[in-house]
Amino acid sequence: MRKRILSGMQPTGELHLGNYLGALANWVRLQDEYDCFFCVVDQHAITVDHNARALPGLVFDMAVSYLAAGVDPERSTVFIQSAVPEHTELAWYLATVTQHGELSRMTQFKDKSDQQGEASAALFTYPVLMAADILIYKATHVPVGEDQTQHLELARNAAQRFNGRFQKGFFPLPQGLYSNTPRIMGLDGLRKMSKSLGNHISMLEEPKPLWKKLAGAYTDPQRTTVTEPGRPEVCNVYRMHTALTDAARLPVIAEQCRSAEWGCGHCKKELEASLNTALAPIRERAKELKANRALVDQILGDGASKARKVAQQTLREVRELMGIVGPR
């Protein structure tokens, strides 16, 4: 069987450059090698307080971002999580082989519940739903960031226990695929790129605001004058170059920086060109897709039908193995 991937993002509206380079660009590459299932995880989004009126628009925008970035519905299955209700049913079955202690050790739960005050039961159990998202497709691989390692481990544990209790080898133990793209920090250079922190470049940023943001981006803090040599290895602008600029140019850029032949403005101008080359086609596709809602809905509907066929088969087998049978 071709190796299979499941991945998804919460509908947070338009994505930023860090999301694109750290996740989406990687998904686009993985489509050549894997059978890919990519979903918008709207049921994860409701585990914390959310705006019900805004949610459908956010889901649509996220689907547009996937497609505009190059996720190809001809090669990958693209859908909304809640359109495949088998995820939540499997989550219940997997909860029976997941330990309470494992869930209470999840650092993301601790972080989010601290922010929320009173945490919901859904927030506590959402790693089980995440395990179901993966295992319902018997995915063999999951693209993960460092902060998701714990969740993947929980999915592997659940699969292993299920296999041990009901059928050896039933679920593959999903492996993590870690992106080798360097982690892009926010434009303040200090924290992760994030919309809520306002230190981001949007994936769909127009050229003018893009340059405005880039011009003020944090570089090497020790380089206070143009004549001072810089250190590309500590500079977030250089890190962005490594993800976006032609590899043959990188040693030249590093050398110009170290020998102080370039000011940071010159360096950022070259990055601006690389960014516009990468983002211009994405911006254009996003505009076309936003203007053609029927097409996006059609893609998501087809994706959900395709995903459901696989999910229903897995669920039939799971019910059978667990003794959940009888007229229905």
Residue 36 or 254: the one with the smaller Cβ distance to ligand SF4 is 254
Please say which residue, 213 or 268, places its beta carbon nearer to ligand SF4. 268
Give the pairing type, strands 35-40 and 76-80: parallel
Query: 302-317 in b/e burial notation, b at 16+ Cβ within 10 A?
Result: ebbebbbebbeebbee
Return phi, psi of residue 202, to 5°: -70, 150
The answer to whether the beta carbons of residues 231 and 223 sit under 8 Å apart is yes
Give the nearer residue to ligand SF4 in terms of CB position, either 63 or 237.
237
State the amino acid at position 125 in one-letter form.
T
Amino acid identity of 302?
D
Question: Nearest distance from residue 125's CB to ligand SF4, in Å?
Answer: 44
Q: How far is the CB of 283 from ligand SF4 (least distance, A)?
A: 24
Residues that bind ligand SF4 (CB under 6 A): 219-220, 223, 230, 232, 235, 237-238, 257, 262, 264, 267-268
Catalytic one among 192, 269, 290, 306? 192
Query: Residue 117, SS3?
Result: coil
Give the whole-angstrom CA distance, residue 256 versus residue 250: 10
Q: Which of 195, 269, 290, 306 is catalytic?
A: 195
Quick check: is 208 catalytic? no
Q: 239: which residues sit within 8 A by CB, 6+ positions away?
A: 182, 183, 184, 185
**Tokens found for residue 9:** 């993002």
Smallest distance from the beta carbon of 198 to ligand SF4, in angstroms? 21
Residue placing its CB nearer to ligand SF4 in the complex, 138 or 200: 200
3 assigned to active site: no
Respond yes or no: is residue 309 known to be catalytic: no
* Residue 219, Cβ density class (10 Å: 0-12 exposed, 13-18 middle, ≥19 buried): buried
Residue with tokens 């101008």: 269
> What is the Cα–Cα distance from 176 to 47, expressed in whole angstroms?
24
Write out the two tokens for 199: 């230190």
60 CB contacts (<8 Å, ≥6 apart)? 293, 296
Residue that the structure tokens 């667990």 belong to: 322
Nearer to ligand SF4, 172 or 230 (CB): 230
Token duo for residue 49? 């307080």
Degrees, nearest 5: CA angle 261-263-265: 145
Please, which residue, 122 or 273, has the CB nearer to ligand SF4? 273
CB of residue 193 to ligand SF4, shortest distance in Å: 16
The answer to whether 271 and 241 have CB atoms below 8 angstroms apart is yes
CB of 227 to ligand SF4, least distance (A): 12
Residue 184 Cβ, how far from ligand SF4 at the closest point, in Å? Answer: 13
The minimum distance between CB 101 and ligand SF4, in angstroms, equals 46
Rank residues 10 and 219 by Cβ distance to ligand SF4 and give the closer one. 219
CA distance 98 to 180: 31
Active site residues: 112, 192, 195
